[in-house]
């Protein structure tokens, strides 16, 4: 956990008292409602800590974003309303702007990245109706923002920023007023998902003004951690790329105002990975029977990480469930990764002697554990290779199982945290081929959108034979491909130049031990 240095007083962008007054005066309840602060009894029992969920996923647009968007737009004067508004958003802010536009009778142009979940694009059009034009541009919020800036210059519309605006921050800060009113008892910390920082800035400023002893902790995805990096560096850092699984918080650079407020008021930042987010989505479902989007589960993933690190403490812990605009197709990916994120599944590649009794010894080592996946492929006359997934209760049990395998003289590779194994190899066991000479193995990623796979295939060089290819639509925003390409050693420099021109992020997995064990002849 990263502590945040306090902001020097001469750097304060908004006096705390002024912002608190704006939060108290914010006009959000003309479109939003006071969301529930619900107990999470199953998770509380498991963690030994009183956990509360702030249910912003139950707002009319299934996200908190309508608070800030409406509070900004309702303050426009007649001349500004006549010019119309323009906004950039990965989806949830767009829905808030669309709903506000329809209610206030303001024309709006909303630029969304092409990677925005279709459920969000459709919702923007539904909420805004004829008053809203949707423009798709770029692969992230930052790309959409650049396109929106160009359109704004052409049309003269008023830009409604999704986070770096005092009225937007004040609107989001009303969530903190509700939390403090709904839970006047002991409160240890509030966990807040972070993209550009508008929600975190508003919540932190409000809580520190009214109950400064309560910790405010921001949570980001490890691959979209612009706020955490900026607070670590003491200045705003721009990321070259952002992960797209938690699309609602995929922001390359945080706002100037939000950065200043977070630096002044936020106690700490946490980073969580995709598996932890998936596990938190399942936790929320189990306690509420609702399914948040990945960014909506960020705060709970951070809360769980905090308890695992610090143990249970006095006072409740609150996680803001910020949104529920989930693409249905993404659920299968979430289900696959939730067990690993909760450390309830361990995945191994195990080599056993090809001799009488060895398979029985392997099964005896597993004992009565629940097997989640099992693949068997004879390696040669001397050994057999097994790919096995096992339900576990803790990381300690995983280590104990590894030790038990080795006690039986079985070679074992722990693949539980291995991205190649989780994404590809578990579906491809038994793929050895004596024909795959000069094979190089590469992982590629590209923004998932219609036609992206075909475009990728068309760019592959025709001079090299594809000897292995695996693609699976995981329901996420990034397409992931594993490719085996036969390239003679003398042509490796030419192949490296090809990779440079291809333009897709890639990883050379040719030396990966699981690939050599399970797929390489």
The helix/strand/coil state of 465 is strand
Task: In whole angstroms, give the CA distance from residue 80 to residue 148.
Answer: 17
DSSP class of residue 132 equals E
DSSP sequence for 61-119? TSBTHHHHHHHHHTT--HHHHHH-EEEE-SSHHHHHHHHHHHHHT--EEEEE-TTS-HH
**Backbone dihedral angles phi then psi of residue 260, each to the nearest 5 degrees:** -60, -45
Pair 281, 231: CB distance under 8 Å: no
In sign, the C-alpha dihedral spanning 290, 417, 453, 238 is positive
Strands 108-112 and 85-88 come out as parallel
Which residue, among 479, 33, 41, has the nearest Cα to 286 in the 3D structure? 41
Q: Could you confirm whether 467 is annotated as catalytic?
A: no
**Catalytic-role residue among 54, 65, 120, 304:** 65
Pair 76, 106: CB distance under 8 Å: yes
Question: CA end-to-end span of the chain, whole Å?
Answer: 44
Q: Residue 172: how many CA atoms within 13 Å on its side-chain side?
A: 31
Task: In whole angstroms, give the CA distance from residue 346 to residue 393.
Answer: 10
**Catalytic-role residue among 322, 422, 467, 476:** 322
Rounded to the nearest angstrom, the gap between the alpha carbon of residue 333 and the centroid of all alpha carbons in its chain is 12
Compute the C-alpha angle 179/183/188, nearest 5°.
Answer: 85
Which residue, among 507, 508, 179, 171, has the nearest Cα to 316 in the 3D structure? 179
Q: Which helix (H) or strand (E) holds 55?
A: strand 51-55
Beta-sheet strands, E only, within 137-292: 158-159, 187-193, 215-221, 268-272
Q: Could you confirm whether 54 is annotated as catalytic?
A: no
**Backbone dihedral angles phi then psi of residue 166, each to the nearest 5 degrees:** -55, -40
**Phi-psi label, residue 116: left if phi above 0, alpha if psi -120 to 50, beta otherwise:** beta
Task: In whole angstroms, give the CA distance from residue 213 to residue 267.
Answer: 10
User: Which sequence positions are flagged as catalytic?
Assistant: 65, 322
């Amino acid at each position: 956990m990263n502590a945040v240095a306090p902001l020097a007083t001469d750097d304060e962008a908004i006096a705390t008292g002024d912002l608190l007054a704006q939060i108290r005066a914010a006009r959000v309840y003309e479109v939003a409602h006071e969301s529930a602060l619900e107990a999470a009894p199953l998770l509380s029992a498991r963690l030994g800590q009183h956990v509360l969920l702030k249910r912003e996923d139950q707002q009319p647009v299934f996200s908190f974003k309508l608070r800030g968007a409406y509070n900004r737009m309702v303050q426009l004067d007649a001349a500004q309303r006549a010019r119309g508004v323009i906004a950039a958003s990965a989806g949830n802010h767009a829905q808030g702007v669309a709903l506000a536009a329809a209610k206030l009778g303001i024309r709006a142009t909303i630029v969304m990245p092409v990677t925005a979940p279709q459920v969000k694009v459709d919702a923007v059009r539904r909420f805004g109706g004829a008053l809203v034009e949707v423009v798709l541009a770029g692969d992230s919020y930052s790309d959409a923002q650049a396109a929106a800036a160009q359109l704004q210059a052409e049309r003269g519309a008023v830009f409604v920023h999704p986070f770096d605006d005092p009225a937007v921050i004040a609107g989001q800060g009303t969530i903190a007023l509700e939390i403090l009113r709904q839970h006047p008892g002991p409160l240890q910390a509030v966990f807040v998902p972070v993209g550009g920082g508008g929600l975190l800035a508003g919540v932190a400023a409000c809580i520190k003004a009214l109950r400064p002893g309560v910790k405010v902790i921001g949570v980001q995805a490890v691959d979209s951690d612009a706020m955490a990096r900026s607070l670590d560096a003491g200045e705003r850092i721009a990321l070259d790329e952002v992960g797209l699984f938690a699309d609602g918080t995929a922001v390359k650079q945080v706002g100037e105002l939000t950065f200043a407020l977070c630096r002044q008021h936020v106690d700490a930042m946490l980073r969580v990975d995709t598996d932890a987010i998936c596990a938190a989505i399942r936790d929320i479902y189990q306690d509420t029977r609702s399914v948040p989007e990945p960014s909506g589960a960020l705060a709970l993933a951070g809360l769980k990480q905090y308890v695992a690190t610090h143990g249970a403490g006095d006072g409740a812990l609150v996680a803001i469930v910020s949104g529920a605009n989930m693409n249905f197709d993404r659920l299968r990916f979430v289900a696959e990764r939730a067990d690993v994120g909760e450390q309830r599944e361990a995945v191994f590649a195990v080599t056993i002697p090809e001799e009488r009794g060895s398979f029985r010894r392997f099964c005896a080592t597993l004992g009565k554990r629940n097997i989640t996946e099992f693949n068997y492929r004879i390696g040669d006359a001397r050994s057999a290779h097994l790919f096995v997934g096992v339900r576990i209760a803790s990381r300690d049990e995983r280590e104990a199982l590894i030790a038990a395998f080795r006690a039986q003289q079985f070679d074992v590779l722990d693949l539980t945290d291995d991205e190649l194994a989780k994404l590809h190899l578990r579906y491809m066991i038994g793929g050895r081929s004596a024909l795959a000479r000069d094979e190089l193995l590469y992982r590629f990623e590209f923004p998932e959108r219609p036609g992206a796979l075909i475009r990728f295939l068309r760019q592959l060089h025709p001079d090299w034979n594809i000897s292995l290819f695996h693609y699976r639509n995981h329901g996420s925003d990034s397409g992931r491909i594993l490719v085996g390409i036969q390239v003679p050693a003398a042509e490796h420099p030419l192949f490296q130049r090809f990779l440079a021109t291809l333009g897709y992020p890639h990883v050379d997995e040719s030396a990966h031990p699981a690939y050599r064990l399970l797929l390489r002849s």
